[in-house]
Structure 1
């Protein structure tokens, strides 16, 4: 029996999205239903549509389709934006504003850190952030820690994460994941997390999903998975599952390339590109 829509914290139906009218869909008629308190890992190759999906859920891209249904906490994310939704993505660290000469303590206060002092202080300790850092003079990993502190210090109901642990060292990442898991369990909060780093993630998710070329090839499935064959008593690790899924994805894509899809990799054309012809003409290195 299918659960009613209101039982899902994140609920998507008939979602198709293209970045421009002339480009193929980045998301192709997908549906997604996640219960409150779930922690779902999105697995997929680069370009599978994970970031686009997260940005749409965060209300950062507008969908106009009449049949499209994108709800979080029972609210339409475009027409009645729900409160308590936090999106953290990688593009934040490239913003020139957060690379300016501003002290971290002042930066956090400018976004209301004083209103969430208890959670802010827990995160400052957990992420090992120095309040006297200057944002323009710290590393990408340290800047990422500040972003996480800023984004997580206000209690959230739904957390959308797009590769935000990529710059963290393994210790801080492990501490962060334990904090997020405990926070989710204690408050019944929901997490949807797209990542390519699967080490140390086995105990984190309640569900795992697989995207390929803008569609779900595996809908959110309870984790851990059972052993893969009758002779094994050990469940597969998330790393093993992801590696196998991505191998299959690449094989499928290469079959599609044989059928006319634009190919990747080295070009086999015998006629040189115009740019190659031009630069060869003025190449005096030999």
Structure 2
């Protein structure tokens, strides 16, 4: 039975690429759950399957085995518009995810039009303010924005239709360290103010420990261990692979857990 406290749950989720004898199982029998209002993280090396899980959940990769539940209901492989109204994704590269020939106003107005929402001007102004950008940013093109400003626009685009869940695929990895801190603190603030649920994919221990309460360690397409944020910070793990991953990340830019850089 699916627990009603969970907003997202997967059971035996598997994704295989290729055909016939030339196949690669990228996600292998993954089961986990996320409670309403929780932030759950998936960490692991590149190619371990964590981003593929996000794409399966949001419907960008409908060819999967197993089950995905949203709000206790089985999600069909082909998603409808109402599903995307409740769940949105923020991608890794804020420049590639924005249309280069559309000004910010057009980028933000498009999801409002698709979902039939009213008060476009008011909603656009409100969401720009929420992500720390002023009204003047409505008339800028992506190439006129910094990397951090582009990611704020991408977050605004996801938020403007008022979803319940954000799927965050390496949302700061393309940004400078100082800008990463600003975006992470923005995400933390938005989650608190709007009661959002997050599923975050990253290889960065500083990011996952700052944002998430629970973290799944991935290896070769499987979640091999779950840890709390405190266990990640304290480098306390059961599996040898997890201990090695945490130890290898200490001292590197990707794994620095710096509470001065990331204030609460």
Please tell me the TM-score bracket, short chain as reference.
0.7 to 0.9
The structure in which a higher percent of residues are strand is 2
Deviates more, 1:32-41 or 1:181-190: 181-190
Q: Take 2:182 and 2:127, find their aligned partners in 1: how far apart are those partners?
A: 15
TM norm structure 1: 0.68
RMSD: 3.5
Distance in 1, matches of 2:123 and 2:141, equals: 22
Alpha-carbon deviation of 1:54? 0.3
Give the aligned partner of residue 27 of structure 1: 27
Q: 1:92 to 1:223 in 2, by over 3 A?
A: closer
Distance 1:156 1:205, change over 3 A: same
2:156 matched to 1:143? no
Any residues of structure 2 matched to 1:188-203 within 5 Å, and which? 188-199=195-206, 202-203=209-210
Taking structure 1 as reference, are residues 196 and 7 closer, same or farther at Cα in structure 2, changes over 3 Å only?
same
**Partner Cα distance (1:166, 1:70) in 2:** 27
**Cα distance in 2 for residues equivalent to 1:159 and 1:32:** 17
Residue 59 of structure 1 contacts residue 78 of structure 1 at CA under 8 Å; is this kept in 2?
A: no
Structure 1 gaps, min length 5 = 228-234, 250-286
- Structure 2: which 5+ runs fail to align? 113-119, 249-264
Larger Rg: 1
- State the Cα distance separating 1:14 from its structure 2 match: 1.2
Correspondence for 1:246: 245
- The number of residues matched between the two structures is 233
Map Cα deviations across residues 54-76 of structure 1 (whole Å, 9 max, x no partner): 000101111364xx211122233
Partner residue, 2:211? 204
Please give the TM-score of this superposition, normalised by the length of structure 2. Answer: 0.72
The whole-number CA distance in structure 2 between the counterparts of 1:44 and 1:28 is 14
Specify whether residues 191 and 237 from structure 1 end up closer, same or farther in structure 2 by C-alpha distance, changes over 3 A only.
Answer: farther
Asked if residue 160 in structure 1 is aligned to residue 158 in structure 2, the reply is: no
User: Kindly tell me: are residues 84 and 142 of structure 1, through their superposed partners in 2, closer, same or farther at Cα, counting changes over 3 Å?
Assistant: same
Q: CA deviation at 1:40?
A: 1.4
Conserved? CA contact 2:232–2:246, under 8 Å: no
- Structure 1 residue 146: Cα displacement: 2.3
- State the distance in 1 between where 2:37 and 2:48 align: 25
Structure-2 residue corresponding to 1:218: 225
